[in-house]
Structure 1
């Protein structure tokens, strides 16, 4: 490894972090999708999320500023009642109560562009789950992404603390095109 990277300690450290992440999550770094929170300021980081394995669509557009709106009900297991503010936005739901497919279908029916499903294990800051179909024949076509529990909790907590109805995000973000490292990732998450 020293021959490939020279003797630069920073590069060795970065390679070590990448390898640790790959072993912990089972995912390669290019299998994740990234988004940046623009506002509120206290969570202005780049987050990673894992796309669903066998349902949901892909991002066909890049959104420089779009709202990330928490679902009501939070678990997204029934028709969403805050449809007026989630129409055309990204919807944040919590894991649990029903299948990933049902959550994504409810988000799509409410007019969401995509759904981020945050793990309900709020201490999870490294383990991505494979979101797979539940066997139903009707599958959602919007992108569905799995978000680490700690990331979801910190986003919801910030919005609640500031009484905000949504966060403003950019999605997807091409992290390989960002000029500087370290990326502005959440301080509670190891990449």
Structure 2
């Protein structure tokens, strides 16, 4: 080990785990929105909740799959409107949280800071950014398995988990 601690890696980020389908059973890292939305804190903890891709995929208008989004976590692709707008629309659709990923730039292995777009809309649910490579693999796998959603736990506390024991997706090569 190079002396990097789990706390160094976490550095304000949040983790969630997919528990179904088994092909995606890994721990994923998301970067919380910087200055809008609710925090992923002790008062926010969901278990065995669907992560549902929104239709249309950019989430810039009310989703066609409204019934699937309500009470669950909305999975939205980056593009066409602001992160805050996507989160606002998902909240209005009844989502409990939002995860946004840049599927079009899925080879990039970095996190994007989701910032307020200075509109007057209030977002009261947590929102986070998932690295594009992970987002692409999740969507690809759900499509291949003909599944409408994955089942997740969010957040997952990794504070006392040694770095080498974090179950990272193999496609990241960490």
Q: Partner of 2:38 in structure 1? A: 57
Secondary structure of 1:80's match?
Answer: coil
Q: Measure, in 2, the Cα distance between the counterparts of 1:66 and 1:178.
A: 23
Aligned with residue 146 of structure 1, among 82, 106, 129? 129
How far residue 190 of structure 1 moved from its aligned partner, in angstroms, is 5.2
Higher Rg of the two aligned structures: 1
TM-score (normalizing by structure 2) = 0.90
1:130 to 1:180, Cα distance in 2 relative to 1, 3 A: closer
Runs of 4 or more, structure 1, over 6 Å off, are: none
1:180 to 1:129, Cα distance in 2 relative to 1, 3 A: closer
Please say if 1:122 is aligned against 2:106.
Answer: yes
Q: Measure, in 1, the Cα distance between the counterparts of 2:33 and 2:44.
A: 18
Counterpart mapping for 1:4-153 below 5 A = 11-12=1-2, 15=4, 29-59=10-40, 60-120=43-103, 121-125=105-109, 127-153=110-136
How far residue 63 of structure 1 moved from its aligned partner, in angstroms, is 1.4
- What runs of 5+ residues in structure 1 fail to find an aligned partner? 1-10, 23-27
Q: CA RMSD in A?
A: 1.9
How far residue 142 of structure 1 moved from its aligned partner, in angstroms, is 0.7
TM-score (normalizing by structure 1) = 0.83
- What runs of 5+ residues in structure 2 fail to find an aligned partner? none
More deviation, 58-67/92-101: 58-67
